[in-house]
């Protein structure tokens, strides 16, 4: 992927890229990928898309998506080489305007300002999103919100749910989530609720709360649920196999191993056409073990915290015999004390 070489301890980034292209990127992650790869290109070091994906906690397909975007914008030249791609960083002209080679439009700051002036509904949406998010938006943030509405065509209700759901997260995370919702056609409040609950359920298999989920975790889960159409019980089964190998530690490094290993298991099952536990059982030629039932332990109380005497059937009959004898004696007025007692 290396193109340029430079003896320098810093990475010079074109001002044209910073001023004209970076603010218009569909995701801040796209800009980060560009700058990160540029650093290695200038140092003459080979860099693979898989390395970039691992460094940023993304899927390799996301990195390729970023290069396709920059190629459309005329920032890089992208050539497919086998299963990978070769990227050439192109010189940027200060007089040129960012234009998609594919002809698709993009929302630029000037357009955003004009939209906010002429469309009161969008302006009210931005104000409501700011209140929901808890801070004022920067110009780049405003551009992102307008893009959610105009380009991604997400309804205002869904955009507000988006900011509520992602409160406290950086805008780059919100942009990725918005793009995912649009790609998955999540455009109603009910669809948002089902989507979030499905993600929460899978995250719980790994011992992760939804508020602390990393981007790479959400990407994997989206792939399993939507792209592979894997039911939660199969994902839980694969997660259990991964935990048996790596343990259930929720440290960051261990979680990445768990998610990556689980993804490999599910990819194998998906390739083999396994979509249910019963299909998995047939493919492996053995029953799928159900979770072991653990009988709850009853904490001893003062009523049971002593050794209980054990009575035989003969003892029970003797007790009944003495009770009946005592009752007869009381009725006849000839009460005799049983030396054995009751």
Total Cβ atoms within 10 A of residue 92: 18
Percent of the chain surpassing pLDDT 90: 28
Q: How confident is the model at residue 337 (pLDDT cuts 50, 70, 90)?
A: very low
198-207 long-range contacts (CB < 8 A, ≥24 apart) are 198/225, 198/232, 199/225, 201/232, 202/232, 202/235, 205/232, 205/235, 205/236, 205/239, 205/240, 206/239, 206/250, 206/255, 206/258, 206/259, 207/248, 207/250
Higher pLDDT, 199 or 106: 199
Provide the pLDDT confidence category of residue 185 given band limits of 50, 70 and 90.
Answer: very high
Question: Does domain 15-89 match CATH 1.10.10?
Answer: yes
Helical ranges in 154-305 per DSSP H: 156-165, 171-183, 189-205, 215-222, 232-246, 252-271, 277-284
pLDDT value for 23: 80
- C-alpha 43/C-alpha 20 separation (Å) is 25
Say yes or no to pLDDT of 4 above 70: no
First to last CA, the chain: 94
Tell me the pLDDT tens digit for each residue of 140-182.
888 899 999 988 999 999 999 999 998 888 888 899 899 999 9
**pLDDT classification of 86: cutoffs 50, 70, 90:** confident
Whole-number percent of the chain with pLDDT over 70: 72
| pLDDT (0 to 100) of residue 208 | 84
Least confident span in 48-52, 86-90, 226-230, 282-286: 282-286
- Cα torsion 46, 50, 53, 56: sign: negative
> In whole angstroms, what is the distance from residue 166 CA to residue 211 CA?
8
Lowest mean pLDDT among 80-89, 202-211, 267-276: 80-89
For 203-247, the pLDDT digits (tens) are: 999 988 766 678 888 889 999 999 999 999 999 999 999 988 887
Per-residue pLDDT, averaged over 73-92, amounts to 82
Q: What is the pLDDT of residues 126-139, one digit of tens each?
A: 999 999 988 888 87
For residue 261, the model assigns a pLDDT of 92
pLDDT of 112 over the 70 cut = yes
The listed range with the strongest mean pLDDT (8-12, 22-26, 54-58, 304-308) is: 54-58
* Whole-structure pTM value: 0.52
How does pLDDT run across 301-321, given as a tens digit for each residue? 443 444 445 455 566 566 666
Q: What are phi and psi of 325, to 5 degrees?
A: -65, -40
- Top pLDDT among 198 and 330 is at 198
If you count them, how many residues does the chain have? Answer: 342
* Higher-scoring residue by pLDDT: 138, 277: 277
How far is residue 236's CA from residue 314's CA, in Å, rounded to a whole number? Answer: 53
Is the pLDDT at 96 greater than 80? The verdict is no
222: Cβ contacts below 8 Å, ≥ 6 apart: 180, 184
Tokens 């700058």 locate to 35
CA distance 125 to 130: 9
pLDDT at res. 323: 66
218-228 confidence digits (pLDDT tens): 889 999 999 99
């Amino acid at each position: 992927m290396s193109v340029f070489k430079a003896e320098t301890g810093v990475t010079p980034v074109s001002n044209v890229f910073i001023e004209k292209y970076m603010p218009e990127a569909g995701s801040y992650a796209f800009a980060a990928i560009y700058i990160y790869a540029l650093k290695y290109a200038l140092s003459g070091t080979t860099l693979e898309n898989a390395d970039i994906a691992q460094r940023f906690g993304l899927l390799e397909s996301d990195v390729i998506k970023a290069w396709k975007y920059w190629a459309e914008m005329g920032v890089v030249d992208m050539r497919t080489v086998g299963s990978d791609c070769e990227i050439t960083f192109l010189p940027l002209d200060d007089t040129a305007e960012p234009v998609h080679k594919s002809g698709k439009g993009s929302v630029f700051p000037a357009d955003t300002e004009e939209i906010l002036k002429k469309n009161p509904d969008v302006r009210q949406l931005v104000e409501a999103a700011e209140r929901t998010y808890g801070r004022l938006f920067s110009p780049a943030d405003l551009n992102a919100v307008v893009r959610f509405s105009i380009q991604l065509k997400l309804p205002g209700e869904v955009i507000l749910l988006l900011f509520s759901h992602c409160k406290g997260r950086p805008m780059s995370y919100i942009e990725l989530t918005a793009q995912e919702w649009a790609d998955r056609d999540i455009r109603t409040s009910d669809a948002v609720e089902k989507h979030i609950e499905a993600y929460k359920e899978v995250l719980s298999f790994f011992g992760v709360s939804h508020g602390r989920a990393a981007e790479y975790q959400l990407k994997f889960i989206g792939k399993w649920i939507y792209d592979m159409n894997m039911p939660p019980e199969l994902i839980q089964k694969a997660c259990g196999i991964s935990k048996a190998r790596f343990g259930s530690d929720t440290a960051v490094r261990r979680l990445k191993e768990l998610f990556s290993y689980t993804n490999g298991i599910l990819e194998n099952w998906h390739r083999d056409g396994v979509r249910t536990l019963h299909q998995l059982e047939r493919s492996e030629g053995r029953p799928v073990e159900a979770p072991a039932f653990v009988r709850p332990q009853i904490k001893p109380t003062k009523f049971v915290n002593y050794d209980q005497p054990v009575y035989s059937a003969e003892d029970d009959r003797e007790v009944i015999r003495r009770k009946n004898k005592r009752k007869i004696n009381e009725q006849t007025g000839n009460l005799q004390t049983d030396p054995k007692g009751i």
